[in-house]
Amino acid sequence: MDVARYARNNLVLQYIPFEDFSKLIPHMQVREVDAKEVLHQAGEPIQFIYFPISALMSMLMPTSDGSTVELAMVGREGFTGMSALLNSMTTREHGALTKVVTVIPGTVIRMKSDAFISAADSSLSMARSLRRYLSLLFIELALSVTCNRLHSLEQRCARWLLTAMDKGDTSEIPVTQEMLAGILGVYRQSIVQVLNDFETTGLVQRGRGSIRMETRERLVAIVCECYFAGRKRTSGR
């Protein structure tokens, strides 16, 4: 496959000048990832960095009792494995802090984490591109904390669906009710009730392992301010 052609569809890689980008190509592979595929497991070394092209990832924080909650979504605007770059020694010693799972299957660019860190350390232009994405990730993390603490489950669910559909450029997400409960950090029955209400009022249509948005305007009407704040601050990317 033409790695360069695929890679330039990722916005982090797109911002790197070709002279520096061309040095990364020998370390890159084009790969297809499946829905629910675990790319990073919490507590394990980060061996690869993934740059989504058409796939969408969920960055989850797990707890000792098996519960999870999503910290951020990663689409073609970013990459997974940021902790390997920011604190490589701690990550090597303790492993990844978060679990990363594919939500929307699709194409990614995969690169060995050691090669990625080495390139970032030696290229000013790459460092600038990574900082640009880091600022977006910080915004998403801040909004995630605020939303999880202050807004209703209905609003949080609407925000997640709209954001996932925006990033995935689709009106249907291949996510089960169980997976969505894990993403939002709530019991499955709570999500079932919310989606029942959404379906009854014509906001979404549930399929076998998927959720389709029926009326975007009405879903937008009930979403919290975090959704609009996120769109406003990242629309200039």
Q: What are phi and psi of 74, to 5 degrees?
A: -125, 115
Section 91-120 average pLDDT: 89
DSSP annotation of 186 reads S
What is the torsional sign of CA 135, 141, 145, 151?
positive
Beta bridge partners of 206: 211
Residue 51 has pLDDT above 90, yes or no: yes
Please tell me the distance from the alpha carbon of residue 74 to that of residue 76, in angstroms, as a whole number. Answer: 7
How far CA 214 is from CA of 35, 58, 101, 170, 211, in Å, comes to 22, 23, 26, 12, 9
Residue 15 has pLDDT above 50, yes or no: yes
Tally of CA atoms within 13 A in the half-sphere of 68 that contains its CB:
22
Please tell me the distance from the alpha carbon of residue 183 to that of residue 72, in angstroms, as a whole number. Answer: 10
pLDDT for 90: 64
CATH tag for 3-145 (out of 2.60.120.10, 3.40.50.1100, 3.20.20.70, 3.30.365.10): 2.60.120.10
Look at residues 234, 59, 6, 42 and name the one whose alpha carbon lies nearest to residue 133.
234
Quickly state the pLDDT bin for 97 (edges 50, 70, 90). Answer: confident
Residue 161 has pLDDT above 60, yes or no: yes
pLDDT digits (tens, 9 = 90+) for 61-87: 999 998 999 999 999 999 999 888 876
pLDDT digits (tens, 9 = 90+) for 22-32: 889 999 999 99
Q: Which residue has the tokens 């603490």?
A: 149
How far CA 142 is from CA of 47, 139, 230, in Å, comes to 27, 5, 10
Do the domains 152-234 and 3-145 match in fold? no
Quickly state the pLDDT bin for 91 (edges 50, 70, 90). Answer: low
Tokens representing residue 49 in the block: 């960095």
CB 47: neighbour CB atoms within 10 A? 14
pLDDT digits (tens, 9 = 90+) for 109-141: 999 999 998 888 888 888 888 889 999 999 999
Please tell me the distance from the alpha carbon of residue 203 to that of residue 22, in angstroms, as a whole number. Answer: 45
pLDDT for 33: 97
Section 207-234 average pLDDT: 92
pTM of the model: 0.92
Section 173-185 average pLDDT: 96
Q: Are strands 56-62 and 68-74 parallel, antiparallel or unpaired?
A: antiparallel
Percent of the chain whose pLDDT exceeds 70 = 95
What is the torsional sign of CA 178, 181, 185, 191?
negative
Distance of CA 74 to the CA centre of its chain: 2
Domain ranges of the chain: 3-145, 152-234
Section 37-57 average pLDDT: 95
CATH code for the structural domain at 152-234: 1.10.10.10
